[in-house]
Structure 1
């Protein structure tokens, strides 16, 4: 039986994140203002075709798999990123003071978009905050660092958009935000996981020190519609 995290986007779209999902049958997708992720129950040509016909815009879309996937010719791959999927196996009992963190809301979205554009932690759009639990460090009312949650497939929750403004590196903000997210997720009985580029060794080292272990490779395809 396939593990939930072998197809995290699909499993998120049919479970915890279903309120943000569109689609039917064996295909699901998010509104493009929320996330470019798409999901299929089975990654085959028939479902790629159904997805093509269902989504109401041209893209870009983000398709992720733990195995390399042949993309049908009616989709055009505009980007390809290889990463790692990492799962938290550390302690659920974390002692830390999180008083300096701020729960972010719609008023912070312009700064969140600016920070993610600068640091490129992954796709972040106008309504990505709807996934929930985005926290940040504000310095003089300016967003210096942030982290939040994204895909939530059944008993797992993905930590995402972990980023720090270059002017504020070295202050331990990322570690504090990550530790806080781990605590939020484990307190409700779920297991944290995340994705990271396989060439980002600095981030991988941080995640491993916090208790994350590499589970499987993660292959990300940036897709737009071609001629069907």
Structure 2
């Protein structure tokens, strides 16, 4: 039987993120202002064609799989990104640092969240991505300098995403602290944290391992777009 994390976008779109899902019984996707992810019940040429005909816009679409899949025409592949899927199934022993003030992020913070993600490029982030929920941030004065939140909710797994720190504030432990908050929150809900990271981001992989994550599998992200 296929593990839910072998098809994480589809699994999320039919479980923890189903309130944000668009599509039909074969293909589902998010509004482009929420996330570029799309998923298929089965990764078949017929379902790629169904998505092509169903998508109401011509923005890039993000498809993720645990094996390299040849994207069929009429889709145009813009880029393929290799990464790791990491899962944290051990009990966390990390304690929060009370010297770092972490606070929930809400709609009024969206302009700063967009600016920070555009600067640091932790992955796709748009005007409604905050609707995935559980976004936390660190401020210096009125300026958002670090944040992290949740993305794919592939129940009972919850993906930690958009972990980023402003370049002027690196080395202060903000990202690690936000990760600890997210891990503790997810485990308190009796769920399992997971995340995705580029295969060549050795520094991040080592940080995640130090917090109890282990590599579950390779993943391949295909950025694809309709042929104009």
TM bucket, shorter chain: over 0.9
Instruction: Kindly state the Cα deviation for residue 78 of structure 1 after the two structures are TM-superposed.
Output: 0.6
- The answer for the alignment partner of 1:2 in structure 2 is 2
Question: Which runs of at least 4 in structure 1 moved beyond 2 Å after TM superposition?
Answer: 92-95
State how far apart, in whole Å, the 2-side matches of 1:123 and 1:45 are.
25
1:106 maps to 107
Q: Paired residue for 2:32?
A: 32
Alignment of 1:1-228 (within 5 A): 1-92=1-92, 94-97=94-97, 100-226=101-227
Structure 1 residue runs of 5 or longer lacking an equivalent are none
Counterpart CA distance in 1 for 2:96 and 2:10 is: 34
C-alpha distance in 1, partners of 2:172/2:97?
A: 15
> Does the CA contact (< 8 Å) of 1:90 and 1:210 recur in 2?
no
Of the structure 1 ranges 87-96 and 187-196, higher mean CA displacement relative to structure 2 is found in: 87-96
Task: Note the C-alpha offset of 1:102.
Answer: 1.0
Q: CA RMSD in A?
A: 1.1
Unmatched runs of 5 consecutive residues or more in structure 2 = none
TM-score by length of 1: 0.97
Q: Could you tell me how far apart the structure 1 residues matched to 2:37 and 2:104 are?
A: 24
Alignment length (residue pairs): 227
Shift of 1:96: 1.9
Q: Any idea what SS the aligned residue of 1:211 has?
A: coil
Corresponding residue SS for 1:199? coil
TM-score w.r.t. length of structure 2: 0.97
